[in-house]
Structure 1
Amino acid sequence: MSGELDLSRDNTNSDEQIIKILEEKIKALQIEAESLRKELNYYKSELEKLLSPPLIEAVVLDVLNNNRVIVRSTSGPNLVVNLSNGIDISNIKPGSSVALNQRGSTIVEILPNREDPLVKSMEIVEKPSVKYSDIGGLEKQIQELREVVELPLKNPAIFKELGVQPPKGVLLFGPPGTGKTMLAKAVATESNSTFIHVVASEFAQKFVGEGARIVREVFELAKKKAPSIVFIDEIDAIGAKRVDLGTSGEREIQRTLMQLLSELDGFQPLDNVKIIAATNRVDILDPALLRPGRFDRLIEIPLPDLKARKDILQIYIKKMKVRLDNFDIDKIARYTEGFSGADIRNICTEAGYIAIREGRREIYVDDFIKAINRVNENRKKEEYKSREEKYA
């Protein structure tokens, strides 16, 4: 009897172990099934994304009374569209970015506001390191820029007290390489302002209305980052005199110019935004740009005279390892007649290369003479080439 009892007990223990093992297998299979279910759902959602049609971006122009909206589609003309369920019309305002379905007939999503990458790239986050002391021979121009740009940014209360309206915009004009960009950077540095550098050709876009939109967004960025200075280089690219007839590209540039004029008219002179523009061809600019209330202060940046060339040379020589024995800076300055500030910087760089080629760790006065002769040769070649192209 006792042997049969032990045998039945052993059978019971064996059955319990088998049941336990099976339960563990079932649990493992359930966990695996749940994992596979999640993976299947993931691939289903990815497949839906791949097969779903793309949405069309549009900008809201106006909100109508009957839950309909006028939008400007990026892929075509202006459209009157409806709202899909779940879109609150109170959240839609003119200028908002929205997404339309593939047919372009319904707003399905309100997009977050974003800055154009091209506009964002124009902002120099770090303040420029150029100071007035780095610019030689332009004392009069520096003083005038400080009065019309820096002073209103730093102390607008003086102008309000006197009832004086400072200029909205300043136009720097003169030959290439005379320091127009350096002056604008120096003003931004000394006034502790955000510096937004724009080359006017960046406003000339391929699609209708894009140039005007970028102009508008640049000024919005300037207001957001105030105090700020917007420097528009080579403004003649969009600011040339308008003509009655022209290609579609020329008409688009005229629309961009009109948007720029509108933005210049749209802010107060004592706002913490100042506009500085530069050009080598002031003679071809549209008179509308130069009328009072826009770029009404013109500052000429001429080629440096003898004293200015000497000042520029001294600024660069201070940073160089020059052998000062028998170094006549007046002689070097006289040899650079007709040179711009950029040419003088090029001479200093070339003199350094001559010393490096000859294995020296000091720059001699003869290196500067050789550099001047080399730059003169290059200038003559450029002049001859330009004459050939002119009469070809």
Structure 2
Amino acid sequence: MVFPTYENEDVEEKKNNVDPVKDFEKTYIAELESKILKLELENKNLQREIIQLKKENEILKRELDKLRIPPLILGTVTDKVGKRKAVVKSSTGPSFLVNISQFVDHEEIVPGARVCLNQQTLVIVDVLPREKDYRAMAMEVDEKPDVSFKDIGGLDEQIREIREVVELPLTHPELFKKVGIEPPKGVLLYGPPGTGKTLLAKAVAHETNATFIKIVGSELVKKFIGEGAKLVKDVFKLAKEKAPSIIFIDEIDAIASKRTEALTGGDREVQRTLMQLLAEMDGFDSRGDVKIIAATNRLDILDPAILRPGRFDRIIEVPPPGEEGRLEILKIHTRKMNLAKDVDLSKIAKMTEGFVGAELKAVCTEAGMFAIRENREYVTMEDFIRAVEKIKKKKGSGSTTPALNVMYG
């Protein structure tokens, strides 16, 4: 006899009595809660990003404010009036009776002190250390450079040209007078960094017994108003005092790039410096005993005004050396080295395609260092091969000469 099971009947009855509306509500609520959690997480992430962006925005604002600050005027104290006033002769020319900022120690304001003035208020805002002479720092003066044309390899054509336009007018000015022509006032050397532009300028100064005065274009662009133009004046004045002399302006593109509408104080200062340079060049005799040589690796960005006749009217390209030129340079830099019999400079010249003079010199130095590390008194071919590989890696990483198609105008 089988007895009926009521348990199964109860379960079946419960299943049949499930409310589909309530079941849908539960599922829908669960989905909404899941979405809310996701949105809350996204919101937190976005809040964090907003905070980070605000911080970055503040940093950029501060940097922008710094760039918008007008450049300072450099001046020299000529007299002090009381504790908080002084008479200052500015680098732009005129003298002013100015106030001394409360942040500046008034005891440091004495006649002869070099100070910085706010461009708008003319208040003294800083005192420069006495030992800090920007003009002396920016200028390199060599009474007798020890570089000769024998120290330069692979630039025979460039040497011939620079001797004609710089050396000949200094040593035989009467030749130009007899023929009735004016020698070039300025010579512009252009090419990649490390190709020997500075060496050419020093060598011609050596051959003519001229004082070599070097200044870097970027040093002429100062934070202080009028200082760049004043430095140009000082350079030309010094060149005349030490004549015969050669002024060499490296990185001239820093002050002589194509002019646009100047929007910042820095741009206007660069323009003032360039105008002073042009004025100085226009104001001296090309047959005199002061010659100007400039160098750049960005010929394409130079202002056409500086290239017109009567200024830098002779342009000489100084390209990377070919294989024969590299061999000449290697011979120059290894002539004092103790080389093993297996060293083949011709092979090294072939291995170093694309190298400029400065890099070839570095190869020779590195090869010597490898010999020293192994306690040898001579340099082997293996040392040179390792040195070439090392310099090639530096070139590849961009830590030496920039790519020619980037910087070579």
Instruction: State the partner residue of 1:246.
Output: 263
Per the normalisation by structure 2, the TM-score is 0.67
Q: One-letter code of the match for 1:151?
A: L
5+ unaligned residues in a row in structure 1: which ranges? 1-48, 62-70, 77-96, 100-115
TM alignment of 1:30-179, pairs within 5 A: 56-58=87-89, 72-73=94-95, 117-120=133-136, 122-179=139-196
Alpha-carbon distance in 2 for matches of 1:60, 1:222: 21
Q: Could you say what secondary structure the match of 2:398 adopts?
A: helix
Provide the C-alpha distance between the structure 1 equivalents of 2:310 and 2:207, rounded to a whole number of angstroms.
25
Supply the AA of the counterpart residue of 1:319.
K
Which of 212-221 and 132-141 deviates more?
Answer: 212-221
> Separation in 2 of the partners of 1:59 and 1:98?
12
Once the two structures are TM-superposed, the CA of residue 51 in structure 1 deviates from its matched residue by 8.2
Offset from partner CA, 1:172-214 (integer Å, 9 cap, x none): 0000100000111001111000110100111112232221111
- Percent identity, aligned pairs only? 54
Distance 1:278 1:74, change over 3 A: farther
Q: 1:262 aligns with which of 279, 290, 313?
A: 279
Q: Secondary structure at the match of 2:360?
A: helix
Give the CA deviation at 1:118. 3.7
Partners of 2:226 and 2:143 in 1: CA distance:
31
The answer to whether the 8 A contact 1:127-1:193 is kept is yes
1:75: Cα distance to partner? 6.8
Query: Residues 367 and 291 of structure 1: is their aligned pair in 2 closer, same or farther, counting only changes over 3 Å?
Result: same
Task: In structure 2, give the amino acid aligned to 1:237.
Answer: A
1:58 counterpart letter in structure 2:
K
Cα shift readout 1:153-172 (whole Å, capped 9, x = no counterpart): 11111111111100000000
Q: Which residue of 2 aligns with 1:372?
A: 388
Task: Write out aligned runs for 1:297-316 (5 A).
Answer: 297-316=314-333
Do the aligned partners of 1:203 and 1:214 also contact (CA within 8 Å) in 2?
A: yes
Give the length in aligned residue pairs. 293
Task: Name the SS for the 2:243 alignment partner.
Answer: coil
Give the 3 Å change call, closer, same or farther, for CA 224–55 of structure 1 in structure 2: farther
* Match of residue 346 from structure 1: 362
3-state DSSP class of the match of 2:292?
strand
Unaligned runs of 5+ in 2: 1-79, 99-110, 114-131
Structure 1 vs Structure 2 CA RMSD: 2.8
Equivalent residue in structure 1 for 2:236, among 219, 224, 232: 219
Q: Secondary structure at the match of 1:271?
A: coil
Do the aligned partners of residues 366 and 231 (structure 1) sit closer, same or farther apart at CA in structure 2, a change above 3 Å counting? same
Choose which of 353, 363, 373 in structure 1 pairs with 2:379: 363
Name the SS for the 1:296 alignment partner: strand
Is residue 239–residue 289 contact of structure 1 (8 Å, CA) maintained in 2? yes
Q: What is the rounded CA distance, in whole Å, between the counterparts of 1:227 and 1:186 in structure 2?
A: 14
Following superposition, the deviation at residue 246 of structure 1 comes to: 2.1
What is the letter of the counterpart of residue 206 of structure 1?
K
Using a 3 Å threshold, how does the CA distance of structure 1 residues 297 and 364 change in structure 2: closer, same or farther? same
Partner-residue secondary structure (3-state), 1:175: coil
SS of the residue corresponding to residue 224 of structure 2 reads coil
Which amino acid in 1 is paired with 2:191?
A: G
Output the CA distance in 2 between the equivalents of 1:51 and 1:211: 32
Cα distance in 2 for partners of 1:98, 1:378 equals: 48
Counterpart CA distance in 2 for 1:117 and 1:123 is: 13
Per the TM alignment, residue 264 of structure 1 is displaced from its structure 2 partner at its CA by 0.8
Give the aligned residue type for 2:211. Answer: T
Question: Could you say which residue in structure 1 is the equivalent of 2:220?
Answer: 203
Contact 1:59/1:98 (<8 A) preserved = no
Contact 1:200 1:237 in 2 (8 A): yes
Letter in 1 for 2:352: T
- The one of 311, 317, 323 aligned to 1:294: 311
Residue of structure 2 equivalent to 1:190? 207
Distance 1:235 1:60, change over 3 A: closer
Which amino acid is 1:339 matched to? F
1:327 paired to 2:343: yes
Matched position secondary structure for 1:56:
strand
Counterpart residue number, 1:281: 298
Q: State which drifts further: 312-321 or 52-61.
A: 52-61
